[in-house]
Structure 1
């Protein structure tokens, strides 16, 4: 890792021995361990260990769960909020498990569309709800800092499964809950 940063500093014309940069390779290595810790965790385990047989058959919504991730195209952050709704069949999941699932997938090199899909597919596979929906709103620094340089752009994506995809009323109820 140190050689990588020494080459990087040299390529941009920086002095690797400058006081402010001496410990940077170590600091960044620790940061990267944290930012990409999702590769060392199994998202399915996060859900499997946190569900229980439930009696609820109405919609459950976990709204505005904040996340930070890294765009795999430019290695710049994107961040925002994810909301997850589901209609249980037999299993109900602890709310903190939804946040953990989001964290595991967001702590990997990502694109927003895949992040949404991975969350929905894992939820669908482990919890087996009658429907699941994942909505993500994010700001991408790769769009703000370079290229088109649009500072206020927010990208919104959604993934729908089961009743949320089949039934417009179910989808509308979820969207209304997000507004209130």
Structure 2
């Protein structure tokens, strides 16, 4: 996104509110969507669609605001020295992203673990890393690797594990139209390459606290 019009973000209770948009980009995208509506056989001047191009333009800027954020910087801002060397797991992190092939949503959950090597990170920052990479045009495979690599390169832990499970509307609404299919991707580094450690992680993310 253009640096002349940065999206302002305000974090409240873990949620990021973005309330500024690039007006030039909104107008440019909205113009294209007016043409798209006409090409679909709709009347973009009718009451229900009059503001739709502008709404879509703003929605797309929000859904892709991850391009403006630095995930490594987020992690570095909450790193603490700590002699803890056991697995840290954050599971069931909500994922919402846009498939770059059809611009249709895919959504689900991410499960992430790392084994500290002298530093831990504020737990809320791991979901933020997920969101930063998810709020871009994505494929699930690349999203999984980007999250893994960011945590590994920034924290330098003994190992990182990432598993993502998502439903893709490009499969559910079009194409093969398989509404109940779920895609699972995984990526591991370091200690998680060992079967015993990886199995412990998989057991923890599937276990219930009940």
| TM-score category (smaller protein) | over 0.9
Equivalent runs, 1:1-180 vs 2, <5 Å = 1-165=29-193, 167-180=194-207
Decide whether the 8 Å contact of 2:95 with 2:130 is kept in 1: yes
Tell me the TM-score normalized by structure 1: 0.98
CA deviations 1:16-66 (Å, max 9, x no partner) are: 111100001111122112101101101111111111111110000000100
Deviant stretches of 4+, over 2 Å: none
Greater mean alpha carbon deviation, residues 98-107 or residues 47-56: 47-56
More helix by share: 1
Corresponding residue pairs, total: 179
Q: 1:3, CA displacement in angstroms?
A: 2.0
CA RMSD of aligned residues (A): 0.7
Q: What is the DSSP-based 3-state SS (H/G/I as helix, E as strand, rest coil) of the residue aligned with 2:189? A: strand
Write the distance in 2 (CA, Å) between the matches of 1:83 and 1:52. Answer: 22
CA separation in 2, counterparts of 1:25 and 1:11? 13
Give the superposition deviation at 1:6: 1.7
Find the aligned partners of 1:94 and 1:151 in 2 and give their Cα distance: 36
In structure 1, stretches of 5+ residues that fail to align are none
Q: Secondary structure at the match of 1:95?
A: coil
Distance 2:71 2:143 in 1: 12
Report the TM-score, using the length of structure 2 for normalisation: 0.84
SS in 2 for 1:132: strand
Instruction: Point out where structure 2 has 5 or more consecutive residues left out of the alignment.
Output: 1-28
Contact 2:30–2:56 (CA<8 Å) still a contact in 1? no
